[in-house]
Amino acid sequence: MAKVLCVLYDDPVAGYPNSYPRSDIPEIAQYPGGQSLPTPKRIDFKPGTLLGCVSGELGLRPFVESQGHTLVVTSDKDGPKSAFERELPDAEVVISQPFWPAYLTQERIAKAKKLKLAITAGIGSDHVDLQAAIERGLTVAEVTYCNSISVSEHIVMMILALVRNYIPSYQWVVNGGWNIADCVSRSYDLEGMSVGTVGAGRIGTAALRRLKAFDVNLHYTDRHRLPAEVERELGATFHPDAESLVRVCDVVTINTPLHPETEHLFDDALISKMKRGAYLVNTARGKICDRDAIARALKSGQLAGYAGDVWFPQPAPKDHPWRSMPHHGMTPHVSGTSLSAQARYAAGVREILECWFEKRPIREEYLIVSGGELAGAGAHSYSVGNVTAGSDEAARYRR
């Protein structure tokens, strides 16, 4: 029998909720483009409930234990004395989330002698050393598409919040003020601006579709060019690389996976080529941006604003400069873990586990690494290598 080690974020400060603002969530028949939602044999949770925290357990305990396996759930994931380190050596399956990643470094993979499967409850498996996973023959899988639309909605919200100067305006109200001039001195219309995405996969394309309604000029760059009919539908201009795109855009949103080719892509050099006073939104991965270069650009005015939903490492240390830099719209990594998205990624994890325990093939679109090579979504989106270096800094968050 297998041990399944599941790392989830902490419960709410006030305790696990016994009620919710809404009694249900809409049922989605299929994803845009026709891919079906997760199809487990059954689920043991109510969609719309909090599943991504420790008490939620992704709704997995009844299923895992009914199969005779052991489920260990923890939020204690960082440092050599963490529960994750203690439980890892005899775990066959590790489940982690992009929002609260248990970094599977080469060293941890070497310690995990029984490990065979790493599942991402969400999208984005860069918290796994993919090179080490390939060399070890592990299977790495994620729930492709489960929260892509969730993230695209967050992108539009962040762009508008930056351009319209929403967060400082809200703060004037909270502080009892009515300082309209202060509010609007950094506020513009999005209409007519040029908006571009670095990465036009499911999330990037969904963001473009939602932004089209704002009468903006759309641009994109991606290693895979969109079909001509999609370019015409969106009125989107293709750029061969990020440098070409950022030179013409007033707003840039990052929607590319993190791998060695994109690590620290937005450094001082690339940011200097952006329009002065441009806005940058990053819901992809924090490490795609050079941490200190972003802070410098906001201080100098090269960037008018930076909104991010992702950090490196995660959770970010409490002295991380993105917490205190000017003109930011940072949130914890929440864009892809709405209650709506949780229902889909929990069901997807259940589907993957059902396939694994029954020795059935895992969906091709869920695979990142399989059979000693990048596979499925991984072969399309990633390049071989490791981007987990430096993740040990996450331990500083607890201290």
CB atoms within 10 A of CB 41: 9
| 333 in catalytic set | yes
> Do the beta carbons of residue 100 and residue 123 sit within 8 Å?
no
Residue 215 has, within 13 A of its CA and on its CB side, a CA count of: 3
Exactly one of 97, 131, 147, 282 is catalytic; which is it?
147
Q: Report the C-alpha dihedral over residues 208, 211, 216, 217, rounded to 10 degrees.
A: 0
**Binding residue per annotation — 57?**
no
**Binding residue per annotation — 154?**
no
**Binding residue per annotation — 136?**
no
DSSP conformation letters of 306-331: EEES--SSSSPPTT-GGGTSTTB---
**Binding residue per annotation — 283?**
yes
φ, ψ at 375 (rounded to 5°): -145, 160
**Binding residue per annotation — 331?**
no
| 147 in catalytic set | yes
Exactly one of 255, 314, 320, 363 is catalytic; which is it?
314
Q: Which helix (H) or strand (E) holds 148?
A: helix 148-163
Rounded distance between C-alpha atoms, residue 269 and residue 16, angstroms: 45
Which residues lie across from 8 on neighbouring strands? none
3-state secondary structure of 88: helix
**CA distances (Å), 115 to each of 98, 140, 173, 220, in order?**
19, 11, 52, 39
| 285 in catalytic set | yes
**Binding residue per annotation — 227?**
no
**CA distances (Å), 224 to each of 217, 233, 292, in order?**
20, 17, 30
**Binding residue per annotation — 90?**
no
**Binding residue per annotation — 364?**
no
Exactly one of 219, 285, 328, 344 is catalytic; which is it?
285
**Binding residue per annotation — 261?**
yes
Rounded distance between C-alpha atoms, residue 295 and residue 300, angstroms: 9
Structure token pair of residue 381? 């989106």
| 165 in catalytic set | no
Exactly one of 333, 344, 350, 363 is catalytic; which is it?
333
Q: What share of the chain is helix, strand, coil (3-state, %, to 5)?
A: 35, 15, 50
Rounded distance between C-alpha atoms, residue 162 and residue 305, angstroms: 6
Rounded distance between C-alpha atoms, residue 162 and residue 66, angstroms: 49
**Binding residue per annotation — 129?**
no
3-state secondary structure of 149: helix
**Binding residue per annotation — 267?**
no
**Binding residue per annotation — 257?**
yes
Structure token pair of residue 391? 């993740």
**CA distances (Å), 185 to each of 148, 163, 168, in order?**
34, 11, 11
**Binding residue per annotation — 182?**
no
Q: Residue 51: what residue type?
A: L
**Binding residue per annotation — 259?**
yes
**Binding residue per annotation — 10?**
no
**Binding residue per annotation — 381?**
yes
Binding residue positions for substrate: 123, 147
Binding residue positions for NAD(+): 148, 202-203, 222, 257-261, 283, 309, 333-336, 381
Binding residue positions: 123, 147-148, 202-203, 222, 257-261, 283, 309, 333-336, 381
Active site residues: 147, 285, 314, 333
